[in-house]
Amino acid sequence: MIGVSSDSVKSHERFVEKHGLPFALLSDEGGEVRKLYGVPNTLGLFPGRVTYVIDEEGVVRHVFSSQLGVTKHVEEALRTLESLD
């Protein structure tokens, strides 16, 4: 499993360590992946925050969108992953 964000690689390293994530985070600094998934900008200015949990067959199992609930993204993703086991 992987996560993708427009944050820098350094930022990802700190985030993974802080939250003990069991998967890698990839940097999409140019926003190309975000565009492919149709993640909208918030108020037309800020990159949106959407978490997709996609299983091994490529099926989207969960989508969570929130600009403000940053830690909620981690909780939602981990809860979904646990339920898929």
pLDDT value of position 43: 79
Query: What's the domain count of the chain?
Result: 1
Distance CA 11, CA 18 (A): 11
Q: At residue 68, what are phi and psi to the nearest 5 degrees?
A: -95, -30
pLDDT value of position 20: 85
Here the CATH number for the domain that contains residue 41 is 3.40.30.10
pLDDT value of position 1: 67
pLDDT value of position 26: 85
Find the domain containing 8 and state its range. 2-84
Distance CA 19, CA 35 (A): 26
5, 28 contact by CB (below 8 A): yes
Mean pLDDT by 10 residues, the chain (85 residues): 81 87 83 87 79 85 83 86 84
pLDDT value of position 21: 81
